[in-house]
Each structure stands twice: as structure tokens, then as C-alpha cells.
Amino acid sequence: MKNFAVFALASAIALPGAAMAQAPAPAPAQTGAATAGVTVTTGATVYDTAGGVVGTVDSTDGTNAVINTGTVKAAVPLTSLGKGAQGPVLALTKAQLEAAAGQQQAQASAEFKSKLVPGATVYGTGGAQLGTIKSVDATGITLTTTDGDAKLPMNGFGPGPQGITIGMTADQLKAAMGAAAPAASASAATATQAEAATTSTDTAAEATTTAATTPKAKRKPR
């Protein structure tokens, strides 16, 4: 599966032989930005120093350029891009940029998971507090809310502006919990019926076996 989460490379990447003097930051732009003599435009192809294709510019905000390699999207400081004969040049190959993004993803994932502990507050879409984490196990996270407990998959949780966040509003979570309750009740009822049927079958089989193995009383001679 392709990973299109955006990872920002924290520091500028030196580009050998390129003029990397920092100019005053231009105003944010949706279509392009100029840095160190090179204009970075949305849709432009970014090359490495050997002329290999690194990826294309998805967007730029005047400070960073989001480069899409086809596997990852990485936000690279504009000061890390130099001017080449074909277009913007980065001092990393496609593989190196993907490896750097992968490393940052692993670090970010480990840091986030360390925060998924009982008692941690969970927020929903829009910043509303939904509840607190009750427990965490390999199958998911149990969330305690004002409407009861809800078990949700771990991949539904992510970092947000306020902390741990899930992509649901309070009303959506409540509706999901309401929809899950009848299904859980039906499942429990089915399991109970199956258990009762098994018990009944076992009892009948036991009675049949007892009847078959009990010797008949001998008749006394007249």
C-alpha cells in the first residue's frame, strides 16, 4: 500500500555546488515559490544531482515544497532545492528521500503509540472531547464516553492539534455505538442459543447412552 502521509524534513539539505544563500521568505503561494534562484512550481519535476527523477511538487507554501515520489509525500525546505538544467534539484535521490520519510514515519508512529495509555483524553473532529482511553490491547482501544464504552480499531486514532484524535464527531461516535449494540446483542443471543442447543443435544445423547447400557431385569420363573 502506498503511503501518502506528508513528512516534513526538519532541516535543510545541503546541495553541493548550488547557491544556497537564504533570501527573504516570499509570501505563501499556492502555485509556486522562488528560492535561491530557482522557482518551485506545483507540478514541477524534482531531480537529484545525477539527473534522476525524485518526484513531483504537489504543493508549496513559500517555506516548504511537498514532493510526491509516488510512494511517499515529503515536505522539503525550499532552501534545500537548487537550480538545475532541467528544473529544481535536491541533494537526495528518490530512494534516499523515501528512506528519510520512512524513518520519520516510524519515529512519529512510535512516539504517538506511547501516548495511547489508559486515562488519555481523546478528541473528535472539530476538537470536541469524546472520552478517555480505558484500555489498549492488540485488537483495539476501548474508549470510555458519557454513553458507555466503545471499542475502536487502533488505526482509527491519530495525532491532532489537541492531542489524540479520531475522525468522528461526538454524534457520529454515539450513532456508531448505537448501531453496534444490536449487533452485539444479536451475536450474544446466537451464542447463547447455540450453547443451549449443544447442551440439549449432549443431554439427549447421554440419556440414550444410559438407556442402551442399562441391563434389563431377568424375569423370575413361574
pLDDT digits (tens, 9 = 90+) for 14-47: 333 333 222 333 333 334 554 555 789 999 999 9
3-state secondary structure of 139: coil
- At residue 38, the pLDDT reads 74
Average pLDDT, the chain: 76
**pLDDT of 12 above 50:** no
Residue 37: what pLDDT? Answer: 55
Closest CA to 36 of 80, 102, 2: 80
pLDDT class for 178, splitting at 50, 70, 90?
confident
- DSSP H helices in 63-169: 94-113
In the chain, pLDDT over 90 holds for what percent of residues?
45
Pick from 71, 80, 66, 67: which is nearest to 99 by CA? Answer: 71
Tell me: pLDDT of 48 over 80: yes
Q: Residue 26, CB half-sphere, CA atoms under 13 Å: how many?
A: 19
Look at the block and give the residue holding cell 442447543: 197
Give every CB contact of residue 189 below 8 A, 6+ residues apart in sequence: none
Phi and psi, residue 134, nearest 5°: -95, -45
- Judge whether 68 and 58 are in contact, CB under 8 Å: yes
HSE, CB side, 13 Å, CA atoms: give it for residue 77: 15
Question: Distance between terminal CA atoms of the chain?
Answer: 90
Percentage of the chain modeled with pLDDT above 70: 64
Looking only at the bridges linking them, the beta strands covering 129-137 and 121-123 are: antiparallel
pLDDT digits (tens, 9 = 90+) for 120-164: 999 998 889 999 999 999 889 999 999 899 999 998 999 998 899
Strand partners, 64: 77
Nearest by Cα to 184 from 154, 149, 133, 153: 149
Higher pLDDT, 89 or 191: 89
Residue 5 has which C-alpha cell? 502521509
**Which residues make Cβ contacts (< 8 Å) with residue 34, sequence separation at least 6?**
23, 26, 40
